Amino acid sequence: MSEPTGVIHDIGYQRYTGPRLGRGHVFGALYLHGVRTAFGLGRSAKAKIFPWLVVGVLTVVAAGATAVRAQFGQVVMTYAQFADAMAWLVIFFVAVAAPELVSRDLRSGVLPLYFSRPLPRGDYALAKLAALVTALWLLLGGPQLLMFLGAAFSTGDGMRGVWNELLDLLPGLLYAGLWAVVFASIGLLVASLTGKRAFAAGGIVAVFLMTTPIVGTLSIMPSATVNQLAFLASPSTLVGAVGSWALGDLLVPEGQRGGTMPIGGFGPLYAVAAAVLVAGCVTLLLLRYRKVAAR
Amino acid sequence: MTLIATESLTKTYAGRVTALNDLTVAVEPGIVGLVGANGAGKSTLIKILLGLLAPTGGRVSVLGLDPTTDPAAVRARVGYMPEHDALPPDLSAAELVTHLGRISGLPRTVARERASEALRHVGLHEERHRAVGGYSTGMKQRVKLAQALVHDPDLLLLDEPTNGLDPAGRDAMLALIHRIGTEFGISVVVCSHLLGEVERICDTLVAIDGGRLLRADRISAMTTTTDVLAVEVSEGTDELAGRLAALDLPVTRDGRTLLVPLADEGTYDLILGAVAELDLPLHRLDQRRHRVAELFAAREPSHV
């Protein structure tokens, strides 16, 4: 530190007469802060490790698929298949990011500092939810964009090839959005129930993993209807089933092994179920913060 | 303008526990002490003033606004310092206060400037860039005060601001609050269960007990000329009390503090002499107004 060269004058307290921004700006500030938090930005180096590890893995997979396609002309996975294949990593990302977004605030007791400000209590929960949805969508959409760029530059059909590729990418991004909304709303609801981050992470993984065996059991029951409805039992298969119905062969190209999920004619029901699930989670989340704010 | 006014304010939880009972009080701007034992209804009152809790009955207004119908307008002009731990340990004080300034509606650069100003006013300088987790209790209390100040409120609601502080820390915090109330032009409501503490800095005192109003008045109307000296030693309080009594000083005990009426300048010398003779570590020795405590004394012992 340099030697003081002059007298420091205490200019005293200054009142603030400038603008005070409205609800939209405050929501935006909290939202951006949330997106940054999900990726560990503005946090310690330790908080950055896991999010960026997941980002790294996804990017490497996307880059690999792009390279194989450019080299051998074989499509390893479609955009939507990429989202499906990476679902497990997304679950782990949610299990780390959601507690980071809400459980930490519950634990440190910082919520009274938020709720004593003009921020409506519902806005806090919705800004955090929007932030997590955005983070998940970027996580899945970013590598898809990379795959698109790779394919667009190596296409042999000129602008027409790029256009066709774009028509494949857009549904893929929409599908990634569906993953993001469903996973974020469930993950954030679970995380908002506890201030302990480890419990929250365990709870989130449990919700996604423990429901999978139920799907397995239901799909071998001796009833075609039960089999076709089995995928309702777990969030990840629910999203997959909606994708199968809405995207059809964009998700799984014809002739590929496995084919689309055997959901019969229940596609619209799956879509409604997904919407109800998200709406239910958001409602419960808002109710939860109603209670928290009054404490 | 009336700072805070309530009219027959009542709050019952789940129809059974009555936290506030027909409370009617009006206070003018300035430094207001809100005193009562734990569970007297202070925190409930603060939450109603902030619009976080809806009263069961009665009316309330803060800065001329109604927190039950327009909570956002009230909260935009009020700063709140909660009683309990409220700071995420891995953020720095500067980051946290800036972020909370933005949540109060300050533009980004203004929030940053005002955050460092607020932290400077509460006495945090270079350390504001370190993670809060490593702060002492006193520093954490200062950060909590700074975040309540960052958006330049017209009213500060401070819930037990001296909680967990040592005597020197308590005095510094009280001096700071007094400065905010007198020099910054911001009205302050200080909640405390320690009457002796808030009466030193307040213009107005509101005492509640069991959700009812005990008394509310300007402190000048309550005090008398007799002052007392408060003496605190780290150990040997009993010995000192005995020694002072032997010197014909009418000493009374208030927890760890000994109270001695201040007759003249000689009283100081007698006390200091006694402390020195017994070789006790003196924690504090200061002047305190006496009567206010007595005003409530009749009702208080049942709660301590």
Q: Are strands B204-209 and B212-218 parallel, antiparallel or unpaired?
A: antiparallel
Chain B residues closer than 8 Å to A105 by CB: 88
**B56 plus B122 within the same structural domain:** yes
Chain A residues closer than 8 Å to B151 by CB: 16, 20, 117
Averaged pLDDT for residues A36-59: 88
Q: How far apart are CA A138 and CA B256, in angstroms?
A: 60
**B163 plus B284 within the same structural domain:** no
Q: Do A21 and B80 touch (CB under 8 A)?
A: no
**B168 plus B49 within the same structural domain:** yes
CATH code of B276's domain? 3.30.70.100
Asked if the C-beta of B72 comes within 8 angstroms of chain A's C-beta atoms, the answer is: yes
**B108 plus B167 within the same structural domain:** yes
CB B18 within 8 A of CB B211: yes
Choose between A33 and B250: higher pLDDT. Answer: A33
CB A166 within 8 A of CB A148: yes
Strand partners, B25: B6
Distance of CA A30 to the CA centre of its chain: 17
- If you measure CA to CA, which chain A residue comes closest to B81? A113
Domain ranges (residues) in chain A = 23-294
Question: CA of A287 to nearest chain B CA: how many angstroms apart?
Answer: 15
HEC profile for B104-173?
CCCCHHHHHHHHHHHHHHCCCCHHHHCEHHHCCHHHHHHHHHHHHHCCCCCEEEEECCCCCCCHHHHHHH
**B106 plus B200 within the same structural domain:** yes
At residue A199, the pLDDT reads 93
CB B50 within 8 A of CB B14: no
Q: Do B152 and A30 touch (CB under 8 A)?
A: no
Averaged pLDDT for residues A138-143: 91
pLDDT beneath 50: ranges in chain B: 225, 298-304
Chain A residues closer than 8 Å to B100 by CB: 113-114, 117
Instruction: Give the orientation angle of helix A87-98 with respect to helix A235-247, to 10 degrees.
Output: 130
Asked if the C-beta of B113 comes within 8 angstroms of chain A's C-beta atoms, the answer is: no
At residue B225, the pLDDT reads 47
- Among B222, B245, B275, where does a domain finish? B222
Q: Are strands B155-159 and B78-81 parallel, antiparallel or unpaired?
A: parallel
The tens digit of pLDDT for each residue in A258-285 reads: 456 777 778 888 889 999 999 999 999 9
Q: Do B105 and A104 touch (CB under 8 A)?
A: no
Which of B77, B104, B159 is the best residue to mutate to test the A interface, defined by the most A CB atoms within 10 Å of its own CB?
B104
The residue behind tokens 């667009």 is A152
At residue A8, the pLDDT reads 56
Over the Cα atoms of chain B, what is R_g?
21
Of A15, A33, A118, the CB nearest to B75: A118
B93, amino acid identity? A
**B137 plus B192 within the same structural domain:** yes
Chain A residues closer than 8 Å to B87 by CB: 108-110
> How many residues would you count in chain A?
295
**B198 plus B83 within the same structural domain:** yes
Q: Which DSSP letter does residue B92 get?
A: B
Q: Do A110 and B110 touch (CB under 8 A)?
A: no
Q: How high does pLDDT run on average in chain A? A: 85
The tens digit of pLDDT for each residue in B203-241 reads: 999 989 888 888 888 877 765 545 778 888 888 888 888
Q: How far apart are CA A246 and CA A184, in angstroms?
A: 21
Q: How far apart are CA B245 and CA B242, in angstroms?
A: 5
Question: CA of B242 to nearest chain A CA: how many angstroms apart?
Answer: 45
At residue B299, the pLDDT reads 45
CATH code of B146's domain? 3.40.50.300
Tokens found for residue A48: 């950055």
Q: Do B76 and A30 touch (CB under 8 A)?
A: no
A183-187, A224-228, A280-284, B238-242: least confidently modelled range:
A224-228
Asked if the C-beta of B84 comes within 8 angstroms of chain A's C-beta atoms, the answer is: yes
Number of inter-chain CB pairs under 8 A, A vs B: 93
Question: CA of B67 to nearest chain A CA: how many angstroms apart?
Answer: 11
Of A44, A117, A294, the CB nearest to B104: A117
Q: Are strands B227-233 and B257-261 parallel, antiparallel or unpaired?
A: antiparallel
- Among B222, B243, B277, where does a domain finish? B222
Question: CA of A85 to nearest chain B CA: how many angstroms apart?
Answer: 34
Q: How far apart are CA B81 and CA B56, in angstroms?
A: 24
Distance of CA B148 to the CA centre of its chain: 14
Q: Do B76 and A20 touch (CB under 8 A)?
A: yes
Q: Alpha-carbon torsion B59, B1, B82, B293, what sign?
A: negative
The band of A203, judged by pLDDT with boundaries at 50, 70 and 90, is very high
C-alpha distance across the termini of chain B, in Å: 36
- Among B222, B255, B283, where does a domain finish? B222
Tokens found for residue A52: 């960026």
- Assess whether pLDDT exceeds 60 at residue A9: no
Averaged pLDDT for residues A100-120: 91
What residues make up the domain containing B202? 4-222
Chain B residues closer than 8 Å to A294 by CB: 47, 52-53
**B36 plus B184 within the same structural domain:** yes
Q: How far apart are CA B233 and CA B248, in angstroms?
A: 20
The band of A180, judged by pLDDT with boundaries at 50, 70 and 90, is very high
- If you measure CA to CA, which chain B residue comes closest to A41? B91
Q: Do A110 and B102 touch (CB under 8 A)?
A: no
Counting the structural domains of chain B, the total is 2
**B232 plus B293 within the same structural domain:** yes
- Assess whether pLDDT exceeds 60 at residue A4: no
Of B95, B180, B185, the CB nearest to A42: B95
- Name every residue whose Cβ is closer than 8 Å to that of residue A79 and which is 6 or more positions away in sequence: A144, A147, A148, A168, A169, A171, A172, A173, A175, A176, A250
> CA of B79: how far to CAs of A94, A114, A287, B154, B203, in Å?
34, 11, 26, 8, 19
Question: CA of B85 to nearest chain A CA: how many angstroms apart?
Answer: 6
**B258 plus B271 within the same structural domain:** yes
Neighbours of A24 (CB within 10 A): 9
Q: Do A16 and B75 touch (CB under 8 A)?
A: no
At residue B234, the pLDDT reads 85
Chain A residues closer than 8 Å to B90 by CB: 43-44, 47
Which of A21, A117, A295 is the best residue to mutate to test the B interface, defined by the most B CB atoms within 10 Å of its own CB?
A117
- If you measure CA to CA, which chain A residue comes closest to B157? A116
B245 SS3 class: helix
Chain A residues closer than 8 Å to B184 by CB: 13
Q: How far apart are CA B157 and CA A113, in angstroms?
A: 12
**For residue A106, which of A200, A240, A20, A25 has the smallest C-alpha distance?**
A200
Chain A residues closer than 8 Å to B159 by CB: none
**B103 plus B245 within the same structural domain:** no
Of A22, A25, A116, the CB nearest to B50: A116
**B193 plus B57 within the same structural domain:** yes
The tens digit of pLDDT for each residue in A80-92 reads: 888 888 888 889 8
- Could you write out the DSSP letters of every residue in A14-82? ----S----HHHHHHHHHHHHHHHHTTTTS-HHHHHHHHHHHHHHHHHHHHHHHHHHHH------HHHH
As a whole-number percent, the residues of chain B with pLDDT over 90 amount to 45
- If you measure CA to CA, which chain A residue comes closest to B84? A109
- Assess whether pLDDT exceeds 80 at residue A3: no
B273 SS3 class: helix
Q: Which DSSP letter does residue B233 get?
A: E
